A = this chain, B = another copy of it.
Amino acid sequence: MAEFKFRHSIQVRYSDIDAQKHVNNTRYSTYIESARLAYLQHLKLWDGKSFLNLGITVADVHISYRKPIYLGQTVIVATRISRLGNKSLQFEYKVQDAENAEICATAETINVAYDFHTEQSIAIPEEWRIVISAYEGFD
């Protein structure tokens, strides 16, 4: 688990820029959300269409801001799952400038396995556990 295997690219939009002329702090959570869902699709744990089958919900978000992001930049969100619990898992993210790899922000989220059909938290499905462990190199 030494490194990030998955990277997701994000175009900055003019509508991400606020009155301070840089990307608004709240958009970073949108960027990592896009990266998280792309990660699940990459591992074929979600099809990108059936929102009732999304499988996880957000319990906790922490973002640490390092450098401002400006219009015209493309950012890469390096994404990994760093911990698998019984009912929850932790994602880690690095938001980096696509050109020079400078870190603009780091973030972690805790996501809870969730059945949107019954609106209840559930244990992480065994299939998820196998696929994620294989991808991230967990024992």
A interface list, Cβ under 8 A from B: 9-11, 13-15, 17-21, 24-27, 29-30, 33-34, 37, 41, 48-49, 51, 54, 57-65, 70-72, 116
Q: Is the CB of A18 within 8 A of B20?
A: no
Min CB distance A54 to B, Å, is: 7
Interface centre among A14, A25, A51, A64 (most CB of B within 10 A): A14
Q: Is the CB of B48 within 8 A of A33?
A: no
Name which residue of chain B comes closest to A24, CB basis: B15
Q: Is the CB of B63 within 8 A of A20?
A: no
**Complex contacts, A15 vs chain B, CB 8 Å:** 18, 24, 26, 30, 33-34
Q: Is the CB of A48 within 8 A of B29?
A: no
Min CB distance A82 to B, Å, is: 17
